[in-house]
Amino acid sequence: MAPIRPSAHLADVRYEIRGALTRRARELEAAGLDIIKLNIGNPGRYGFATPAHLREAIAAHLGDSEAYGHEQGLEAAREAIAAQQRARGAQGVEVERIFIGNGVSELIDLALRALLQPGDEVLLPSPDYPLWSAATILNDGTPRYYRCLAENAHLPDPDEIEALVTPRTRALVLINPNNPTGAVYPRGLLERLVAVAARHRLLLLCDEIYDEILYDGAVFQPLAAVAGELPALSFGGLSKVHRACGYRVGWMSLSGDPARSRDYRDALQLLAALRLCANVTAQWAVMPALESAPTIHALTAPGGRLHEARRKVIEGVAASDYLDLVPPAGALYAFPSVRADRIATFDDNAFALRLLEEEHVLVVPGSSFNVPASRHLRLTLLPPPEQLREVFVRMERVLERMAAG
Ligand code: PLP
């Protein structure tokens, strides 16, 4: 019998955060080795607990979770999300323009599926969170990458973005605070990006899943507040800020003049209905999550575990002969690079494999984030800060060996 052939759609789809290196790390673990894993932004795996009041809300509502719910999500949860968005200055946000999904991951696909015709183009950051590229390709779109270079503090250049616009461009994707770079976009930059979207009638898609994870006084500016009447979809969720990745709850909120996005909203609702509803049980955690101050601030403030982890990474880079870093202003990652004056020809994939095989540390090579020939690596800030110190000792040993040839 002929082998079963997978869809050709998948030919250009990658997700290296859980790719070949991770599979190799599992083999090494099965062989009895201890691997320090810095590859996934999954707080629950590193001893971070979901706040008790979220858990308690779910437990209290188990009996109300057994039937399918509304395709867009629990009304009370959507009320809480709409209230958050309005308080942030978003216009035109009502419960019927909020969609709750099984994580932001499901909604990224849904938002692009409702938008794209074959050959439509989507402006994506490079580096990106690779699901954005994958979902664009799987929905017959074409990614067009704008660069977020370390030389520019990993911020995008609105002129470069505008130069990429063609008659086929439909949407501009922003990730703020950014995974993998940790950049947090200032308001002036968002205003210029919104102006580009307005001139070319692009839908703004803003992944704000790290919205409350900020360091050293960085300020998060919600895109919807800047976009005003322009249609914008803002994404948020429980996974990161509320350390509840396993609950699989994310949301998106459609802001701007409702008349300009009515048909698109209806398309989103149809797609949401086709998958019936998101996990009802976990949606009960949305109200307590949004109706009290985010508990993550205690972890990002001086003395907090994430703050200390970030400090260890900055110290590790400062002590290194080989590494550079734009310190992350937000999110759960650092994105250091290897200096060209110390190692002229650097292959990030080869380095990550050596680091795993020789020193038992798992990181994600920068090229996994749709950057050609990257000199970067992504590390999560989630391990205990002391372990991060050890990670830098081990990385330095491999870099020394590579520099020695
Ligand atoms: N967007 C970004 C930028 C992320 O980093 C992640 C997860 O790492 C997601 C979306 C997916 O989040 P969720 O757990 O809500 O599916």
Indicate the residue among 230, 260, 290 that finishes a domain: 290
In single-letter form, the type of residue at position 293 comes to A
- Measured in Å, residue 269 CA sits from the centre of ligand 1 at 21
- Is the Cβ atom of 101 under 6 angstroms away from ligand 1? no
**Residue 244, domain CATH:** 3.40.640.10
1 lies in a domain? no
Return the structure tokens found at 224: 């919807």
Q: How far apart, in whole angstroms, are the C-alpha atoms of residue 354 and residue 347?
A: 11
379 near 333, Cβ under 8 Å?
Answer: yes
Q: Which of 151, 83, 111, 92 is nearest to 290 (CA)?
A: 83
Mutation choice for ligand 1 from 181, 212, 240, CB with most ligand atoms inside 8 A: 240
Q: Which of 153, 234, 161, 235 is nearest to 198 (CA)?
A: 161
- Is the Cβ atom of 105 under 6 angstroms away from ligand 1? yes
- Rounded to a whole number, what is the distance in angstroms from the first to the last CA of the chain? 49
Angle at 138 between CA 93 and CA 82, to 5 degrees: 10
56 lies in a domain? no
Q: How far apart, in whole angstroms, are the C-alpha atoms of residue 355 and residue 344?
A: 18
pLDDT tens digits for the chain (405 residues)? 789 999 988 888 888 878 899 999 999 999 999 999 999 999 999 999 999 999 999 999 999 999 999 999 999 999 999 999 999 999 999 999 999 999 999 999 999 999 999 999 999 999 999 999 999 999 999 999 999 999 999 999 999 999 999 999 999 999 999 999 999 999 999 999 999 999 999 999 999 999 999 999 999 999 999 999 999 999 999 999 999 999 999 999 999 999 999 999 999 999 999 999 999 999 999 999 999 999 999 999 999 999 999 999 999 999 999 999 999 999 999 999 999 999 999 999 999 999 999 999 999 999 999 999 899 999 999 999 899 999 999 999 999 999 998
Angle at 176 between CA 155 and CA 274, to 5 degrees: 135
Instruction: From the CA of 178, give the closest atom in ligand 1.
Output: 3
Q: What pLDDT is stored for residue 12 in this prediction?
A: 86
Can you give the residue range of the structural domain that contains 334?
Answer: 8-49+298-403
- Measured in Å, residue 209 CA sits from the centre of ligand 1 at 6
| 38 shares its domain with 136 | no
185 near 148, Cβ under 8 Å?
Answer: no
| 332 shares its domain with 276 | no
- Measured in Å, residue 104 CA sits from the centre of ligand 1 at 6
Q: What pLDDT is stored for residue 270 in this prediction?
A: 98
User: By alpha-carbon position, which residue is closest to atom 7 of ligand 1?
Assistant: 41
ipTM of the complex: 0.99
DSSP label of 214:
B
In single-letter form, the type of residue at position 57 comes to A
Q: What pLDDT is stored for residue 269 in this prediction?
A: 98
Q: What pLDDT is stored for residue 355 in this prediction?
A: 98
- Measured in Å, residue 13 CA sits from the centre of ligand 1 at 17
**Residue 41, domain CATH:** 3.90.1150.10
Return the structure tokens found at 113: 């599926």
- Measured in Å, residue 252 CA sits from the centre of ligand 1 at 12
Measured over the CA atoms of residue 150, residue 152, residue 158 and residue 163, the dihedral's sign is negative
Instruction: From the CA of 129, give the closest atom in ligand 1.
Output: 3
Indicate the residue among 233, 261, 290 that finishes a domain: 290
User: By alpha-carbon position, which residue is closest to atom 5 of ligand 1?
Assistant: 179
Determine the angle formed by the axes of helices 103-113 and 131-138, rounding to 10 degrees. Answer: 40
| Residue partners of 101: CB distance under 8 A and separation at least 6 | 73, 107, 110, 249, 250, 251, 252, 272, 278
State how many domains the chain has. Answer: 2
Q: How far apart, in whole angstroms, are the C-alpha atoms of residue 266 and residue 80?
A: 21
Element housing 172 (H / E): strand 169-175
16 lies in a domain? yes
DSSP label of 5:
P
- Is the Cβ atom of 383 under 6 angstroms away from ligand 1? no
| 78 shares its domain with 209 | yes
- In our burial notation (b when 16+ CB lie closer than 10 A, e otherwise), range 332-360 reads bbbbbbbbeebbeebbbeebbebbbeebb
- Is the Cβ atom of 250 under 6 angstroms away from ligand 1? yes
| 213 shares its domain with 350 | no
- Measured in Å, residue 35 CA sits from the centre of ligand 1 at 24
Mutation choice for ligand 1 from 45, 102, 129, 213, CB with most ligand atoms inside 8 A: 129
DSSP label of 169:
E
Indicate the residue among 290, 321, 351 that finishes a domain: 290
- Measured in Å, residue 3 CA sits from the centre of ligand 1 at 34
